[in-house]
Amino acid sequence: MFKIIATFLVSVLCLGAFAACGSSDEGGDKSKADGTDAPENSINAEANEAYTLYDAGEVTVDVPNGWLAFRNIDVHAEENGALSTRSVTVCKGATSELDMFSKPYVKLDYQGANIYLSRPMRDFYDNVVDLDPVDLGGHTWEAFSCDSMGTPLVILYVDEGDDQFMATICCGTGDDAISLEDEQVKRIINSYTVKASADESSEATDGESSEQ
């Protein structure tokens, strides 16, 4: 009899745990709208506005309502795990950075004269298809579509001498899928702006290197 009662209690507790998971998902949708649980280095667009300006330090970008923006790891920093002030990901329907592994996003990268942002290596991708040049954000980007481990991507790149820019669109699948033709995606890329102080910083760093 004791084993029967214990088994019953365990079953009840398991049901409670599953119910809690469901509640957590609903809460996640709510935080997506109001940004209450967003990480410190990220921002959610407010529900009453179509876009919110996100300032990463050296660059800014418009974030559509229902998307989450966050800074990426700075691979050039001496400190491990340091966040970039130039590289930003804007993820659709996300509530944390980890959602970029399951949701569509636009990743934006910029480098100035002091660090070169290399052209993406097409050999790393499958089903590569060249696209027509894309005019967005005051740049004319070379573009191609491809697959990475079964995930459809569109990659844009432009080298303007001292400055290089790259946009990686992880298109996703299903109802939440995005594309280069989406107005929100175009707005994100169009709005990606290097602040004047970032330009001056790059020029100053390059000048110091030349003097040495």
Cβ count near 206 (within 10 Å)? 14
Question: How far apart are the C-alpha atoms of 141 and 180, rounded to whole Å?
Answer: 12
Cβ count near 147 (within 10 Å)? 14
Residue 23: its pLDDT value, please? 33
Question: How far apart are the C-alpha atoms of 180 and 169, rounded to whole Å?
Answer: 7
Question: How far apart are the C-alpha atoms of 62 and 107, rounded to whole Å?
Answer: 13
Residue 41: its pLDDT value, please? 59
Residue 186: its pLDDT value, please? 97
39-211 folds as Protein Transport Mog1p; Chain A (3.40.1000)
pTM listed for this prediction: 0.71
Read off the tokens for 46.
């407010």
Residue 107: its pLDDT value, please? 97
Residue 169: its pLDDT value, please? 98
Q: Where are the domains of the chain?
A: 1-34, 39-211
Question: How far apart are the C-alpha atoms of 209 and 207, rounded to whole Å?
Answer: 5
Q: Which residue has the tokens 């790149």?
A: 157
Q: 169-194 burial, b for 16+ CB within 10 Å, e for fewer?
A: bbbbeeeeebebebebbbbbbbbbbb
- Is 167 within 8 Å of 107 (Cβ atoms)? yes
CA distances from 18 to 21, 25, 176 (A): 5, 11, 25
Can you give the pLDDT of all 212 residues of the chain as single tens digits? 433 333 333 333 333 333 333 333 334 443 333 444 555 555 554 444 799 999 999 999 999 999 999 999 998 888 888 999 999 999 999 999 999 999 999 999 999 867 888 889 999 999 999 999 999 999 999 999 999 999 999 999 999 988 999 999 999 988 899 999 999 999 999 999 999 865 554 444 444 433 43
